[in-house]
Structure 1
């Protein structure tokens, strides 16, 4: 078994385990190295929003794919852990984008459905999985539905949850090992989705001030929780706060660590 295939198998096993997989998303080499050095970290995931912001682009496939993949390649080469990439919606060709990501050292990835017709979204899922098989790895696709992201704020919740479940079940039936539902934070709604999909199938994003703790999500049967752009925002908040303190006549925090 190749090293890449072994990393893919490891990442897949981490999603299937009863213990929740907690991923603090990274966006460059130093953030990846800092997170990888944390005891208990078993895998990494990149954040497309954060990588785009690093280069001055807005989220949503505005960063050129070559530039995006170059940063991801630098990350995979800098760490020994399995790395999952945010593929966004596949840049117009999900299968080829997944193939190129695998060549960059990636063994898993998120793929947005952008609420495209379900048959198109399922075809994209299959294309990514086919790219993994062609490369000889069990690519760990985290198939994302944007049913809640794109919903109107006042939209009735139950029809939205029904659509979430319909799409997630279709992605699982197409072969995706896990499915991702951003903006799903309420306990009772998480319970409903897990009941429909089964345990260790659902992945969520941890939203500051809104999400349940990872330990509680684990008890609910959630497979994985990640942080998306929020870890970069944590870092940038600390940077801006330190700059503000310094400009106001103060000093940098005394507990600053030499992490680079």
Structure 2
């Protein structure tokens, strides 16, 4: 039942640390579930790649919601949505996106503070906070637990520094966010600063310098959740590029020997489906 998934997802954020991988289709979701994941999250970039589009604002709200429904159906695990800037600028419109996300069966979602245009400029501080406040109010009005993760993406996008990112997540916490997130701080020491700056749970992204750390090391710093973003999708696309370069440029098929066996993939797909095999969500 979806209600149990929502409760499970909420409980995961109350203590400890867990990894939340980001599938891009039903098959990758089931393989991640079969590998032992306890929850999943969509990735706007990884999903855009499946549509043959670049990352950053190229997926519509309708497409993201349909994709979210597919991910919810794919496995018995709770799912959170990467909903970029909420597909809107105005706070009321972002609040409506939260309600739609819940209707799609999601147990939470993340909202960014940068616009999906050009070089992704940040929203004005006051507007960024108002957007999260409206999203938090919408989440609290639901009849289910719903984890709202407020993202300060300007550090990653190079539009503001870590001090400003911390100022923003502190304000997002006060505005009602359940979790805060500054994608890719420069290193472990900066992640420690982020975590120490708030009482809310903090999401860490396994990318950049943090890939040098283990799950236990990131957990020891104090992160509550570790997401993979589009990293697994990028590894997969890197394999496509590498294999095709070898075949088309060098006429070499030997790298294909690294392929997983069909039986292993079949077994993981079946195991990952659990009770969710091709079922509509409740």
Q: Per the shorter chain, which TM-score range?
A: 0.7 to 0.9
Q: 1:253 aligns with which of 252, 257, 264?
A: 257
Q: Which has the higher helix share?
A: 2
Q: 2:131 aligns with which of 101, 124, 133?
A: 124
Q: Which residue of 2 aligns with 1:6?
A: 4
Gaps of 5+ in 2: 115-121, 267-282
Question: Contact conserved, 1:201 with 1:222, CA < 8 A, in 2?
Answer: yes
Q: Which residue of 2 aligns with 1:50?
A: 46
Aligned partner of residue 234 in structure 1, secondary structure? helix
Query: Aligned-residue CA RMSD in angstroms?
Result: 2.0
Aligned partner of residue 149 in structure 1, secondary structure? helix
Q: 2:18 aligns with which of 18, 21, 26?
A: 21
Q: Which residue of 2 aligns with 1:133?
A: 140
User: In the alignment, is residue 144 of structure 1 matched against residue 154 of structure 2?
Assistant: no
- CA displacement at 1:118 relative to structure 2: 2.5
- Relative to structure 1, is the Cα distance of residues 131 and 253 closer, same or farther in structure 2, using a 3 angstrom cutoff? farther
- CA displacement at 1:215 relative to structure 2: 1.4
Question: Contact conserved, 2:181 with 2:204, CA < 8 A, in 1?
Answer: yes
User: In the alignment, is residue 31 of structure 1 matched against residue 31 of structure 2?
Assistant: no
Per-residue CA distance 1:101-145 (angstroms, 9 max, x = gap): 211111111110113122222222222233333331221011000
Correspondences of 1:171-210 after superposition (within 5 Å): 171-198=172-199, 201-208=201-208, 210=210
- CA displacement at 1:254 relative to structure 2: 5.0
Q: Which residue of 2 aligns with 1:65?
A: 61
Question: Contact conserved, 1:112 with 1:143, CA < 8 A, in 2?
Answer: yes
Question: Contact conserved, 1:4 with 1:137, CA < 8 A, in 2?
Answer: no
Output the TM-score relative to the length of structure 2: 0.81
Question: Contact conserved, 2:95 with 2:138, CA < 8 A, in 1?
Answer: yes
Gaps of 5+ in 1: none
Question: Contact conserved, 1:242 with 1:253, CA < 8 A, in 2?
Answer: no
